[in-house]
Chain A
């Protein structure tokens, strides 16, 4: 940083009225922009609590006359989704959970393992490997769809052969397993980046001490590295959870019908072209779809900020 010429700054007169005005302006602006950000959510919540005639006939910003969770119940268990027989979004919500949880856990664990090897067990060419993994972060979803389809097709054929031979597919060709695989592979670049940078600042002397103490490769990882990685684990889990939960492209491409994740189901619900558009049900479904990511942010959000800052300043 260059030196600041102090003489160029006029001495500030501390006047209370001036500082009060400054405060009012600052808080006024903050509240104003907070409102702007909150309006969509408020409209969604209010609409979801109104009956349909009140939605179509009334003002968007009017408070519901008699709030009811009827459309929430309809969205969860009764609404028809596209052409599928399944009623409500509950099944798709569970599909998403079944996809997100393993995908987040596996990609975070593998990212941690990669970061550990790339910083503490360096091998010739480790920079190249890391560079290529970083490159994976810049590949857009769209460009991997066709190669991914080819691979998933191959896995599907293996699954069919396994069924012929043993009667069980061992998960090959299962849409949820396929999506987990897509997200793990795609997320690996990011999780590796997070953990490598965190472990780069992790004291190597601890690893050496554990080596002398007789801990092996995985014992050092499990007993020394992982217990001291909480901030970066939280960051990675939030990042991966949000990305995978919100993904639409992979979900709509590689899963169909009853196997679709939540995002695809929401789209199918909202885009139904038959009958009346039930805005209140759509809004309720949209809030349900967004709830898990909101929940993760609220619960782990403070760690997220801490984690992003971790290692920035020593001490």
Chain B
């Protein structure tokens, strides 16, 4: 059942259109992550759901109720801000109870609700403190507690982890995930961190320049990116993208990647691509994730189609759990994700194996996936 629904939403600031017709829907208990580079409109989109930004066209519905023109406080939503936005003059308990106080909830009831949430988030010993006496992680938890305590229909998170240091960020990410699983809350979450998006979301919406690029599960976004932008934006290190062309012989379609000084790499069109649309000689962009580029011996045994190429190793980056090996094909960098203990040195020639099951093709003109 569709819980949160956004239809043809547009937002203009003067002549500048920052959201160009957004269509999104989220089921109850879903976790929607809005992701995109700076200035793509993701925070503005969240603001329109919150009611902090007016919309120029389209509609927003929660449980079928149109909320376009409702005041933020009447939408039954709660928001966690990037800066946490805790009231500095109030204690943690007062911060958490403020929303209920404004809605005229009796004091006893407020205290009960605060105590309950404080217990869940392990904030009980902090209730009497002021925000200035808390650490970053504690402030973050209080901000989430303030949202939770009202039991709203939708939670909105605006880059909630971006002010935390790396270790705490991972801890809080797990905590948010646990919270989502336990409470079954419906969440819309804005981030520019694609690991947060991948780990937390049930649905990811990738935005660029105010337009939706792709909406799908983390698996879909990662393995079947709709276009070059999504392919390049999601994943770290990012997807290897190489220019090639199509060659047809005996009914089979092959991808040919020309190289200087080496034989061209030739292999069958990856299984995911739509072969019929590919004409002889058509230019394509071949995309493959670093983890699908490997040694011959550690290549995925279940893979149905593997192709190999030999190339000179340029950079070796040991990352602890893996080692990233960088080589280049036709002037383009190609990153391979190897086992940590692989014995590869800079300068040597190495045989790389590509798992074509995981490869995708893009049209270089439309940038769409073929």
Contact = CB atoms under 8 A, between A and B. Distances in A.
Contact of A213 (B52, B73, B88, B89): B73
B245 interface: no
Contact of A227 (B73, B78, B89, B146): B89
Interface string B61-87: 000000000011100011101110101
A227 B78 CA distance: 23
Interface in B217-242: none
A215 B101 CA distance: 9
B103 interface: yes
A212 B85 CA distance: 12
Nearest to B82: A205
A100 B367 CA distance: 71
Contact of A228 (B71, B73, B83, B88): B88
Contacts of B21: none
A210 B98 contact: yes
Contact of A203 (B50, B71, B85, B98): B85
Contact of A211 (B72, B83, B146): B72
Interface in B85-112: 85, 87-89, 98-99, 102-103
Nearest to B99: A213
Interface string A183-217: 00000000000000000000101101111111100
A44 B116 CA distance: 66
Nearest to B150: A213
A133 to B, nearest CB: 26
A212 B89 contact: no
A203 B87 CA distance: 10
Main secondary structure of the interface of A (DSSP, over half): helix
Interface residues of A, number: 16
B102 A215 contact: yes
Interface in A151-207: 203, 205-206
B69 to A, nearest CB: 15
Given A212-B50, A212-B78, A213-B73, A206 B85 contact: yes
Interface residues of B, number: 21
B134 to A, nearest CB: 16
A213 B102 contact: yes
A210 B87 contact: yes
A209 B89 CA distance: 14
Given A209-B146, A212-B72, 20 more contacts: A206-B85, A208-B79, A208-B85, A209-B79, A209-B87, A210-B87, A211-B52, A211-B72, A211-B73, A212-B50, A212-B73, A212-B77, A212-B79, A213-B102, A214-B73, A214-B99, A214-B103, A223-B87, A227-B89, A228-B87
16 contacts: A203-B83, A205-B85, A208-B79, A209-B81, A210-B87, A210-B98, A211-B52, A211-B71, A211-B72, A211-B73, A213-B99, A214-B99, A215-B98, A219-B102, A224-B89, A228-B89
